[in-house]
Amino acid sequence: MERVDVAIVGGGPAGTSAAWKAAEHGADAVVVEKGVPRADRDRLGPDSTDAAGMLDYWVDLMDFDPEEIPEDIILRRLDGADFIGPSKTLPVETTNIDASYPDFGFAFDRAGFDDWLRGQAESAGASYHVGDSVTDVESDLSPSNGREQTHTLTLSSGEELVAEYLVLADGPQRTVTTDALDQFTSGRTISDVLNPTEVNHIAYQEHRKIPDELLEPHRLKFWWGYMPGHTAYPWVFPNDGNVARIGLTMPIGLDIDDFDKSEWVLLREDDDGIPRGGEYIERLLEHLYPDYDIDDFPLVEDRGKQGGTETYPISSTRPIESPTKAGVAVVGGAMGGTSAFHEGGDHVAVRTGKIAGRLAATGDLQRYNDTWQDALEDEFARNVTLADVVHDYGPAEWDHAFGTADSLLNRGEYSWWTILKSGLSGYRMVKQYNSTKDQYRNGGYVQFEESEYDL
């Protein structure tokens, strides 16, 4: 039996950041990571699958100085994004949020980013159990031996790990988090609000080479209103050289009979079900580049998890608070803190992990819920508001929104004057956004509060 101060379940950005800061503040911290193989990683590590784009202000939300990000994990500096509807396009050259990073953002090597974070954590003194998974968590909240509480983790190897503080960072699948938190519920449970089969999206991406004449190496591309489902969209993220990640995000469990197939660019009248990810990508490329064949965009098979392809879940829900009185913090995707609307959330994962690790190490974990909300409230409120506003959008609504937003933004110079110039449509859009966001002020975006735990 191993005894530590802080046990962390999951070695992705949230868990590794928690281990880093816990160790840096003097705690004996250990990460349990089941580990997955990747063609682009020499050892087992976390399930590092993401579209891997970072916006300028996200660097600040991670509490990093831009100079801290290693140059060798930055694949491409970005100067903007294009939001493309069936007939309208909204080009964006700025996030309109103050940031210390000088460019619009950057595309990065997600596996390399995770490995760098692990190196920082290990240098600070954290240790890793890689190749083990947690099969059970039992919490004893009665003080003993100078500890406020103890959490006993049973590992797949049969070993036990006992810790005073527990950080749950097992991502949107929540294979450990749900049962670990439901020890402390007697009414509504965590599985009621964070069931992965109901609240997650599924993402699929392929690493492909882009013909030189088609490559736009410094812009992100998103297509909205092309495929059905709430916040369902294909995208292209430029990486190094002429390689790009071409992928899509969509809700789990869509029924094609719920949609008019003739409305959606990437559906066919003879579709019996929602197309698989690879089929969607082929159709997207055929639609965008009718003079090219799919063979003109060859797979880069030595990247990703399986022959140049990756499938992974993304949380698409609102965050929950943690039972900090029990010495437990849930972070990143496990807490519902990442979002399919903006294609993941490494920035939220890193920041919540850093906060949880530091507070656990200093015996101040009961401040965790207030602290992460102070740091991230604007980001959460913005994301859940936008997701709500566009929830029922179809192709026509996306076109209308992009046309109106283009007038509102006036190429980045948003003001009351541009609202007036955009007419009634612009006024209605702003009013709908503001009235929806009002519901989520002062922590209203939290869907399970600490007071609901039976502690």
- Of the segments 3-7, 34-38, 96-100, 439-443, which one has the largest average pLDDT value? 3-7
Whether 93 is covered by a domain: the verdict is no
Residues 37 and 7 occupy one common structural domain: yes
In this prediction, residue 416 carries a pLDDT of: 41
| Residue 276 DSSP label | P
* Domain boundary pick from 314, 349, 375: 314
**Would the pLDDT of 399 be above 70?**
yes
Whether 82 is covered by a domain: the verdict is no
In this prediction, residue 9 carries a pLDDT of: 98
In this prediction, residue 426 carries a pLDDT of: 60
Whether 91 is covered by a domain: the verdict is no
**What is the C-alpha separation between 60 and 345, in angstroms, rounded?**
13
In this prediction, residue 342 carries a pLDDT of: 53
Residues 190 and 153 occupy one common structural domain: yes
In this prediction, residue 382 carries a pLDDT of: 87
Locus of tokens 């929830």: 391
30, containing H or E segment: strand 29-33
In this prediction, residue 51 carries a pLDDT of: 66
Residues 126 and 171 occupy one common structural domain: yes
Residues 37 and 59 occupy one common structural domain: yes
Burial class (CB in 10 A: 0-12, 13-18, 19+), 317: buried
> What mean pLDDT is predicted for residues 1-22?
96
Average pLDDT in the chain: 90
In this prediction, residue 344 carries a pLDDT of: 60
Which pLDDT band holds residue 409 (cuts at 50, 70, 90)?
low
Q: Which of 443, 448, 402, 442 is nearest to 425 (CA)?
A: 402
In this prediction, residue 105 carries a pLDDT of: 95
Q: Which of 241, 168, 250 is nearest to 204 (CA)?
A: 250
One-letter amino acid at 436 equals T
**Would the pLDDT of 137 be above 50?**
yes
Whether 85 is covered by a domain: the verdict is no
pLDDT digits over 261-290, tens only? 999 999 999 999 999 999 999 999 999 999
On the CB side of 344, CA atoms within 13 Å amount to 23
**Would the pLDDT of 421 be above 60?**
no
**Among 60-64, 429-433, 449-453, where is mean pLDDT lowest?**
429-433
Burial class (CB in 10 A: 0-12, 13-18, 19+), 151: buried
Whether 133 is covered by a domain: the verdict is yes
> What mean pLDDT is predicted for residues 179-196?
94
**Would the pLDDT of 23 be above 50?**
yes
Q: What is the pTM of this model?
A: 0.94
Residues 336 and 406 occupy one common structural domain: no
**More confidently predicted of 433 and 206:** 206
Residues 239 and 109 occupy one common structural domain: no
pLDDT digits over 435-455, tens only? 888 888 888 999 999 999 998
**Domain total in the chain:** 3
Whether 87 is covered by a domain: the verdict is no
Does residue 110 contact residue 41 with C-beta atoms inside 8 Å?
no
Does residue 256 contact residue 279 with C-beta atoms inside 8 Å?
no
**Would the pLDDT of 385 be above 50?**
yes
In this prediction, residue 48 carries a pLDDT of: 84
Whether 128 is covered by a domain: the verdict is yes
Residues 125 and 28 occupy one common structural domain: yes
> What mean pLDDT is predicted for residues 128-157?
92
Residues 256 and 356 occupy one common structural domain: no
> What mean pLDDT is predicted for residues 190-207?
92
In this prediction, residue 413 carries a pLDDT of: 47
Residues 154 and 259 occupy one common structural domain: no
> What mean pLDDT is predicted for residues 371-376?
96
Which pLDDT band holds residue 414 (cuts at 50, 70, 90)?
very low
> What mean pLDDT is predicted for residues 204-208?
95
In this prediction, residue 406 carries a pLDDT of: 75
Residues 275 and 209 occupy one common structural domain: yes
Residues 216 and 260 occupy one common structural domain: yes
Which pLDDT band holds residue 422 (cuts at 50, 70, 90)?
very low
**Would the pLDDT of 338 be above 80?**
no
Which pLDDT band holds residue 411 (cuts at 50, 70, 90)?
very low
Residues 171 and 210 occupy one common structural domain: no
* Domain boundary pick from 269, 284, 314: 314
Which pLDDT band holds residue 415 (cuts at 50, 70, 90)?
very low
Whether 86 is covered by a domain: the verdict is no
In this prediction, residue 13 carries a pLDDT of: 96
**What is the C-alpha separation between 97 and 264, in angstroms, rounded?**
33
* Domain boundary pick from 314, 331, 347: 314
Q: Which residues are bridge partners to 154 per DSSP?
A: 136, 160
**Would the pLDDT of 41 be above 50?**
yes
**Would the pLDDT of 363 be above 90?**
yes
Any alpha helices (H) in 26-109, and if so which ranges? Answer: 56-61
The CATH number given to whatever domain includes residue 326 is: 3.50.50.60
Which domain covers residue 406, as residue numbers?
392-443
